[in-house]
Amino acid sequence: MQILMILLLAAVLICALCVAFTKNLLAAAVVFMTQSLALSVVWLLLESPDLGITEAAVGAGVDSLLLFATLKRIRAIDSDARENRKREEEQDGTRS
């Protein structure tokens, strides 16, 4: 049980660092959702199911939906897809 708790807390810390240092906003939102899910399991292991369920519902659910809607609204998701396509085209051009 202690080993699982240590692994989950390490995962939460790693997720927090990844969110802080990533440049891709969509990836940051997905990692943030993962961090929230790990935190909800930590709350359940600490025998606080009300906080675990709230963290899963609000942190992983509502917050993630709001982040994805915001990214879509500011067109960050579309611009990331365009940049990826542009990079792929450049790589294909250099290989030919």
pLDDT-derived band at 39, boundaries 50, 70, 90: very high
At residue 44, the pLDDT reads: 94
At residue 80, the pLDDT reads: 65
What is the pTM (predicted TM-score) of this model?
A: 0.72
Smallest CA-to-CA distance from 5 within 42, 31, 48 is with 42
Contacts of 39-44 with CB under 8 Å at 24 or more apart are 39/12, 41/8, 42/5, 42/8, 42/9, 42/12
At residue 78, the pLDDT reads: 67
At residue 86, the pLDDT reads: 78
Rounded Cα–Cα distance for residues 40 and 92 (Å) = 43
Contact (CB, 8 A) for 55 and 40: yes
Rounded Cα–Cα distance for residues 83 and 23 (Å) = 13
Identify the residue with better confidence: 85 or 45.
Answer: 45
Q: What is the pLDDT of residues 63-91, one digit of tens each?
A: 989 988 888 888 766 666 677 777 788 88
